[in-house]
Amino acid sequence: MLIGMIIERKLAEEALQVAKAQAELYVDLMCHDINNMNQVAMGNLELAVMKLEQNGKLDASDLPLLKASIESLSSSSRLISNVQKLKSTSSEGISLHAVDAVKLMAEAIGESGHKGRDISIEFSHDEKCIVKANALLKDVFANLINNSIKHSRPEKPLAISISIRMAMHDGDVYCRIVVDDNGPGIPDDLKEKLFQRFSRGQTRVKGSGLGLYLAKTLVEHYGGSINVEDRVQGDYTQGARFVIMLPVAEV
């Protein structure tokens, strides 16, 4: 009886620690990423107001300021929505169902914010690749695409190549998703740390460093794996490659 009560209390304490860690994660997301996004929007809007006060009007050359503000606030709203989804799935259990990774990737590419930059995205894929996941898989894909854009050099053209193919691994069928780019790449000593909660590596871009941590968390919930490699083996300066392996759903 006493042993049962001790075990029960220990399990309750462990559950409380998990809940506390999840709550901290949500607070981190809100405080760090959303603050950064709103600062960008506020900075651009302040510049637009200054021009309006000086000239009495705005012209076409000021449109990028307003568009950048809208994009930043839209990203902030999406993040709030994603955190709500993540909180819901964490409290209710991750609900998984059959989704088409090809369709979700196409949507993520269509929603990626790369206007005004010399960026090309090439997407090759099988007709379909059905995996057991949920709508948050699109957020994983969007994170990888936006990561490539954020950490690239604005003055240089960026080429992102994405492929989704069926592949065999240890006798099982997987959906192999590859996202690579010709950006600055990731040094070997940072690759292992990249998916840790607050790791940002040597980046010019401020942020919470939670994106890849969340991507890894979700992919593992789907029963898959995510890894980072050199786009050109042995030479990280030629760009990065992210590889996701997700088990194909039984349909």
Number of structural domains, the chain? 2
Within this chain, do residues 116 and 6 fall inside the same structural domain, yes or no? no
Instruction: State yes or no: pLDDT of 86 exceeds 70.
Output: no
Question: What's the pLDDT band for 115 if we cut at 50, 70, 90?
Answer: low
Q: What is the pLDDT of residues 8-31, one digit of tens each?
A: 777 667 666 665 666 666 666 666
- Kindly state whether residues 119 and 214 are assigned to the same domain: yes
Pick from 90-99, 140-149, 205-214, 236-245: least confident: 205-214
| 31-35, 115-119, 121-125, 245-249, range with the lowest pLDDT | 31-35
Q: Do 124 and 241 have their domain in common?
A: yes
224 pLDDT band, cuts 50/70/90, is very high
Average pLDDT for the chain: 80
What would the mean pLDDT of 212-234 be, rounded to a whole number?
A: 89
- Domain boundary at 90, 122, 153, which? 90
With helix as H, strand as E and coil as C, how does the chain read?
CHHHHHHHHHHHHHHHHHHHHHHHHHHHHHHHHHHHHHHHHHHHHHHHHHHHHHHCCCCHHHHHHHHHHHHHHHHHHHHHHHHHHHHHHHHHCCCCEEEEHHHHHHHHHHHCCCCCCCEEEEEEECCCCEEEECCCHHHHHHHHHHHHHHCCCCCCCEEEEEEEEEEEECCEEEEEEEEEECCCCCCHHHHCCCCCCCCCCCCCCCCCCCHHHHHHHHHHHCCCEEEEEEEECCEEEEEEEEEEEEEECCC
Percent of the chain with pLDDT over 70: 75
Residues 127 and 80 in one domain: no
Position 69 scores a pLDDT of 82
Pair (103, 130) in one structural domain: yes
Domain containing 129 equals: 95-247
Q: Are residues 173 and 204 in the same domain?
A: yes
Same domain, 25 and 146: no
Q: Are residues 105 and 86 in the same domain?
A: no
Whether residue 232 sits in one domain with residue 111: yes
Domain boundary among 55, 90, 125: 90
Last residue of a domain, one of 42, 64, 90: 90
